[in-house]
């Protein structure tokens, strides 16, 4: 019966997908759209507070702006390495694609480290989610700032873990566990990153489940889909950097 | 000059091939626009005016990322319109309340 169906000319006639694209890519686009609304709401909350409060604090001095500019450079460059990785994978050069993905992960890690330094500096100055040392009448600054930038930092961290799964597969798990131990043990207990480091442990467990229970050789489409996520994370920062940092620059 | 080539795979999905130099141009443009933003950050402008200028530049930057890095420029037209229109409409619905932020400054809060 199956042979008969195979020989029928209609068995070869496939209707092309509606958007002429892979279903994985479409799925990622739908996720990106829903996540855009999450970040849209957070950016709206921050910008609304910024505009409606003339006494909004201006805590970002030259060092902060310099650091945030380098972070922007890292993310933009990581998007370039990502797109070069996708291009290599499309041409069947999978080893080169993996190397570009690792370069993307390193630039992303540089971004997270600089962002953690920025947070540590602001916390040392007395910023908490509920109060800030610069404008006592605007307590929502810390809450909106930490929620927006923390959410983005979490997305970048998940992006690095995701790219590691695609590029390095099972070799990524011990590296991730070492990074978790380093981040956990080298940060003081008072730092939010001491406990935040456990995100890497959760990521390692999730990555292990994916890699051991559903092992596969990731192809060009998988790399392109991971690239879509990474570019989205970059895109969100293109709004956070000007609206949060440049709108609250301390001009001396 | 063509931006890239399109071929269809056996599932009917479009596979893109792009010129590498194009990605470097987009990357350079994004860095240039970021430098303009940093310069504007140090101009002592009225916050609302600054917000609109920075938001405008950010929208141009995000359009470059979506079109070239995320390959939306090379997708079929119906996918471009369906995804982007729905996203822009939803974000605009959210930001429609933004006028209230300015009203609070001018009229105060009861």
Q: Classify residue A241: in a domain, yes or no.
A: yes
- How far apart CA A18 and CA A66 sit, in angstroms, is 46
- How far apart CA A15 and CA A12 sit, in angstroms, is 10
Beta-bridged to residue B18, according to DSSP, are B4
- What pLDDT was estimated at residue A6? 52
With cut-offs at 50, 70 and 90, classify the pLDDT of residue A2: very low
Q: Classify residue A8: in a domain, yes or no.
A: no
A195 touches chain B (CB under 8 A): no
With cut-offs at 50, 70 and 90, classify the pLDDT of residue A103: very high
Q: Classify residue A90: in a domain, yes or no.
A: yes
Q: Label residues A77-115 b or e (16+ Cβ within 10 Å = b).
A: bbbbbbbbbbbbbbeeebeebbbbbbbbbebbbbbbeeb
**Chain A residues with CB-CB distance to B22 below 8 A:** none
A15 touches chain B (CB under 8 A): yes
- What pLDDT was estimated at residue B30? 97
**Which of A30, A47, A83, A241 is the mutation pick for testing B, counting most B CBs within 10 A?**
A83
Residue A162 CA: distances (Å) to CA of A101, A129, A179, A226, B62? 10, 29, 15, 7, 22
Which has the higher per-residue pLDDT, A18 or A10?
A: A18
Using only C-alpha atoms, chain A has a radius of gyration, in whole angstroms, of 22
- What pLDDT was estimated at residue B7? 56
Domain range holding A101?
23-248
A118 touches chain B (CB under 8 A): no
- What pLDDT was estimated at residue A11? 56
Asked if the model's pLDDT at residue B8 lies above 60, the reply is no
- What pLDDT was estimated at residue B20? 86
Share the mean pLDDT of chain A. 90
Percentage of chain A lying above the pLDDT 90 cut: 72
- What pLDDT was estimated at residue A76? 96
Contact (CB<8Å) A18/B34: no
Yes or no: say if A241 and B31 are a contact pair by the CB < 8 Å rule. no
- What pLDDT was estimated at residue B14? 56
Half-sphere exposure of A183 (CA within 13 A, CB side): 22
Taking CB atoms within 8 Å and a gap of at least 24, the contacts of B95-104 are B95/A40, B95/A44, B97/A44, B97/A48, B98/A44, B98/A47, B98/A48, B98/A51, B100/A48, B100/A52, B101/A47, B101/A48, B101/A49, B101/A51, B101/A52, B102/A51, B102/A52, B102/B48, B104/A52
With cut-offs at 50, 70 and 90, classify the pLDDT of residue A248: confident
Most confident of the ranges B1-15, B19-33, B68-82: B19-33
Contact (CB<8Å) A242/B58: yes
Residue A62: CB atoms within 10 A of its CB come to: 12
Percentage of chain A lying above the pLDDT 70 cut: 93
Q: Classify residue A18: in a domain, yes or no.
A: no
CATH code for the domain in which residue A193 is found: 1.20.120.80
Contact (CB<8Å) B38/A251: no
Yes or no: say if A96 and B21 are a contact pair by the CB < 8 Å rule. no
Smallest Cβ distance to B47: which of A51, A228, A234? A51
With cut-offs at 50, 70 and 90, classify the pLDDT of residue B4: low
Asked if the model's pLDDT at residue B15 lies above 90, the reply is no
- Show the tokens assigned to A123: 């916390």
- What pLDDT was estimated at residue A173? 96
Contact (CB<8Å) A29/B83: yes
CA distance A194 to chain B (A): 32
Q: Classify residue A1: in a domain, yes or no.
A: no
Q: Classify residue A15: in a domain, yes or no.
A: no
**Chain A residues with CB-CB distance to B102 below 8 A:** 51-52
Q: Classify residue A14: in a domain, yes or no.
A: no
Contact (CB<8Å) B65/A251: no
Domain count, chain A: 1
Q: Classify residue A10: in a domain, yes or no.
A: no
Per-domain boundaries in chain B: 1-75, 76-110
**Chain B residues with CB-CB distance to A111 below 8 A:** none
**Chain A residues with CB-CB distance to B56 below 8 A:** none
CA distance B7 to chain A (A): 11
CA distance A211 to chain B (A): 26
How large is the average pLDDT for residues A60-86? 94
Smallest Cβ distance to B20: which of A36, A52, A87? A87
Asked if the model's pLDDT at residue A111 lies above 70, the reply is yes
- How far apart CA B2 and CA A251 sit, in angstroms, is 45
Percentage of chain B lying above the pLDDT 70 cut: 81
With cut-offs at 50, 70 and 90, classify the pLDDT of residue A224: very high
How large is the average pLDDT for residues A212-229? 92
With cut-offs at 50, 70 and 90, classify the pLDDT of residue A228: very high
**Which of A246, A248, A252 is the mutation pick for testing B, counting most B CBs within 10 A?**
A246
A247 touches chain B (CB under 8 A): yes
Q: What is the pTM of this model?
A: 0.88
With cut-offs at 50, 70 and 90, classify the pLDDT of residue A227: very high
Contact (CB<8Å) B12/A232: no
């Amino acid at each position: 019966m199956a042979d008969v169906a195979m020989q029928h000319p209609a068995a070869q006639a496939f209707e092309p997908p509606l958007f002429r694209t892979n279903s994985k890519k479409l799925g990622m686009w739908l996720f990106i759209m829903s996540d855009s609304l999450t970040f849209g709401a957070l950016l709206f909350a921050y910008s609304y507070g910024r505009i409606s409060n003339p006494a909004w604090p201006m805590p970002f001095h030259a060092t902060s702006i310099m650091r945030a500019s380098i972070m922007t450079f890292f993310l933009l460059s990581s998007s370039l390495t990502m797109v070069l990785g996708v291009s290599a994978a499309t041409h069947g050069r999978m080893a080169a694609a993996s190397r570009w993905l690792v370069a993307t992960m390193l630039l992303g890690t540089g971004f997270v480290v600089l962002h953690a330094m920025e947070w540590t500096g602001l916390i040392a100055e007395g910023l908490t989610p509920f109060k800030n040392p610069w404008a006592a009448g605007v307590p929502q600054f810390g809450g909106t700032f930490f929620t927006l930038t923390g959410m983005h930092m979490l997305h970048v961290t998940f992006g690095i873990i995701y790219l590691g799964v695609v590029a390095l597969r099972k070799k990524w798990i011990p590296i991730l566990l070492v990074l978790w131990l380093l981040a956990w043990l080298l940060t003081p207990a008072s730092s939010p990153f001491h406990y935040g480091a456990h995100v890497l442990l959760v990521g390692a467990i999730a990555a292990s489940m994916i890699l051991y229970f559903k092992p596969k050789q990731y192809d060009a489409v998988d790399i392109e889909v991971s690239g879509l996520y990474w570019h989205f994370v970059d895109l969100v920062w293109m709004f956070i950097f000007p609206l949060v940092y440049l709108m609250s620059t301390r001009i001396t | 000059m063509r931006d890239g080539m399109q071929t269809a795979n056996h599932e009917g999905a479009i596979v893109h091939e792009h010129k590498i130099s194009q990605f470097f141009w987009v990357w350079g443009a994004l860095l240039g626009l970021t430098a303009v933003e940093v310069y504007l950050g140090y101009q002592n402008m009225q916050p609302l005016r600054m917000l609109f200028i920075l938001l405008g530049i950010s929208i141009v930057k995000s359009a470059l990322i979506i079109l070239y890095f995320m390959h939306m420029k090379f997708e079929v037209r119906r996918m471009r319109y369906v995804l982007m229109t729905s996203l822009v409409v939803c974000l605009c619905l959210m930001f429609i309340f933004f006028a209230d932020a300015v009203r609070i400054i001018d009229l105060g809060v009861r």
